[in-house]
Amino acid sequence: TLIPAAFGGRAPADDTATIPGWGVVPGQAARDWVASNLDHPSTNDAGTDSTKSGFVWLRRLFTDPTGRDLVAMDSRQRRFHGGLRRFLELRDPTCRVPWCDAPAVHVDHTRSVHDGGATSAGNGDGLCERHNQVKEHDGWHFTVQSTGLDGTGPHHLRIHTPTGTSYDSTAPPIHGEGWTPPTLRDSAHDWIPDHATEAWHDDWHDAWA
């Protein structure tokens, strides 16, 4: 993800870019790298033409009005591959299950296709391998509370467990324009008590017992 020089012809001096699977790099270094590869033809990406397209091609990613949260992209795909998958890998770099910081290696439908779920950024989530399997067990149910498109906050999931408890998960903010360090407490919610985390781990243990 790279912030374009859209404000007054230049991007903020301290902006950053994110390289999926690598991390955060200085924004200007990323722009220089993009510019240096514009004349190198390649057909590594679907839809490119080695005689007309360069090694670099751009896809717009949209944030909410604050610039803090990824909410959509300008590509429509039927399956989670290509640009749509890369978008979700950017939005959900780690597993969306609370208290799991494993890399999100699976991209899946929050509401399954056979239940009418769309293949879209709003109905997609990034999960680790274990939790993507556990969510298919009886009693587990994931729902989308907010896609982020209304500007009220980031992508928001609610996870219902077999014990009847529910947990919320929001996509982390991106680095760059509008980014601020996450707070330890959401002003709209109370602190999560210790017994809540204990119950969550009990739910996962029961699912694998």
Please tell me the pTM assigned to this model: 0.52
Distances (CA, A) of 49 to 41, 56, 57, 73: 8, 11, 11, 22
So what's the pLDDT on residue 29? 83
pLDDT score of 140 more than 50: yes
> Which segment of 15-24, 71-80, 125-134 scores lowest on mean pLDDT?
71-80
CA-CA-CA-CA torsion sign (112, 116, 117, 119) = positive
How many residues can be counted in the chain?
A: 209
Query: What are 204's two structure tokens?
Result: 């996962």
In the predicted model, what is the mean pLDDT of residues 194-208?
55
pLDDT score of 156 more than 90: yes
pLDDT score of 19 more than 60: yes
pLDDT score of 136 more than 80: yes
79 Cβ neighbours under 8 A, 6+ residues apart? 119
CB distance 79 to 69 below 8 Å: no
- The helices-and-strands tally (H runs, E runs) of the chain is 4, 9
In the predicted model, what is the mean pLDDT of residues 10-37?
76
pLDDT score of 46 more than 70: no
In the predicted model, what is the mean pLDDT of residues 6-29?
70
> Which segment of 34-43, 125-134, 165-174, 195-204 scores lowest on mean pLDDT?
195-204
CA 77, CA 88: separation in Å to the nearest integer? Answer: 12
Average pLDDT, the chain: 73
